C-alpha cells in the first residue's frame, strides 16, 4: 500500500558527516505561506547552517513524523476538525494535503498504521531566505511500522522499506518551521 511507504520513509545521504554538520548549525522552525516554494535540489549532502537552524530542522522533522504517524494510526480522528487543527501547527501545503489524503484512504479501507518510525538522521541540504525555506534530507527507519486492518491483520504488500530517505521542505511562518512538502530521494535507500 502506498500509504505505508510514504508514511514511513526517510533517510539522509552521508549520515555521519551530515550529522556532524547539523550540530554546527541551527535548524528551521515550522511555518507556512501562500508564496510558492522555490524548487530545491534533492542532494543529500549537508550544507553549513546555524546551530539553531540545524536544531529546528531536526525538531520539525521529528515533530512532523510523529504527527504523521499519529494521524495515520487513527485516521478517522485525524480527519476531524480538531485533528486537522493539531496538524496545522506542524504541516501545511502539499504535505498537509498528502497526509489528509493518506488518512482518507486508510479510513475508507478500514485500515491504520501501527508502530513508529525513527529518525536516523536529518540534515539541511538547501536553505533560502525569500521565502524562508529549508530542505531536509531525513533517513527514516520504518522497521516497526506496518499497515493493518481494523481486526489487526497486516495488510499484504504494506510492509515498507526498512530505511527510506525523505526530502522535506520546511517553510518558516510565525517563528516556526512547518513541513510544506514531502518527497523521496531518487535513491531512497539510506
Domain count, the chain: 1
Integer-rounded Cα radius of gyration of the chain:
16
**pLDDT score, position 22:** 33
- The cell for 101 is 489524503
* Nearest-angstrom CA–CA distance, 132 and 98: 22
Specify the 3-state DSSP secondary structure of 17: helix
Regions of the chain short of the pLDDT cut 50: 1-43
In a domain, 190, yes or no: no
CATH code for the domain in which residue 118 is found: 3.10.450
**pLDDT score, position 99:** 95
**pLDDT score, position 78:** 93
**C-alpha distances in angstroms, 79 versus 17, 105, 136?**
39, 11, 27
- Nearest CA to 171 out of 8, 17, 32 is that of 32
Looking up cell 488518512 gives: 103
Q: Domain range for residue 44?
A: 2-184
In a domain, 50, yes or no: yes
Prior bond of 63 cis (ω within 30°): no
In a domain, 82, yes or no: yes
In a domain, 189, yes or no: no
Can you give the pTM of this predicted structure?
0.74
Amino acid at each position: 500500500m502506498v500509504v505505508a511507504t510514504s508514511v514511513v520513509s526517510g533517510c539522509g545521504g552521508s549520515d555521519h558527516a551530515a550529522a556532524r554538520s547539523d550540530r554546527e548549525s541551527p535548524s528551521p522552525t515550522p511555518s507556512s505561506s501562500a508564496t510558492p516554494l522555490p524548487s530545491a535540489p534533492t542532494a543529500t549532502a549537508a550544507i553549513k547552517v546555524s546551530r539553531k537552524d540545524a536544531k529546528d530542522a531536526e525538531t520539525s522533522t521529528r515533530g512532523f513524523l510523529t504527527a504523521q504517524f499519529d494521524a495515520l494510526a487513527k485516521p478517522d480522528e485525524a480527519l476531524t476538525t480538531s485533528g486537522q487543527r493539531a496538524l496545522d501547527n506542524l504541516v501545511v501545503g502539499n504535505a498537509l494535503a498528502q497526509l489528509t489524503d493518506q488518512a482518507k484512504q486508510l479510513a475508507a479501507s478500514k485500515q491504520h498504521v501501527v508502530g513508529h518510525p525513527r529518525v536516523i538522521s536529518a540534515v539541511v541540504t538547501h536553505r533560502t531566505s525569500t521565502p524562508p525555506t529549508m530542505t531536509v534530507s531525513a533517513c527514516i527507519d520504518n522497521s516497526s511500522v506496518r499497515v493493518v486492518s481494523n481486526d489487526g491483520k497486516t495488510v499484504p504488500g504494506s510492509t515498507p522499506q526498512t530505511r527510506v530517505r525523505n526530502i522535506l521542505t520546511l517553510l518558516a511562518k510565525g517563528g516556526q518551521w512547518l513541513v510544506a512538502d514531502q518527497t523521496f530521494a531518487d535513491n531512497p535507500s539510506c
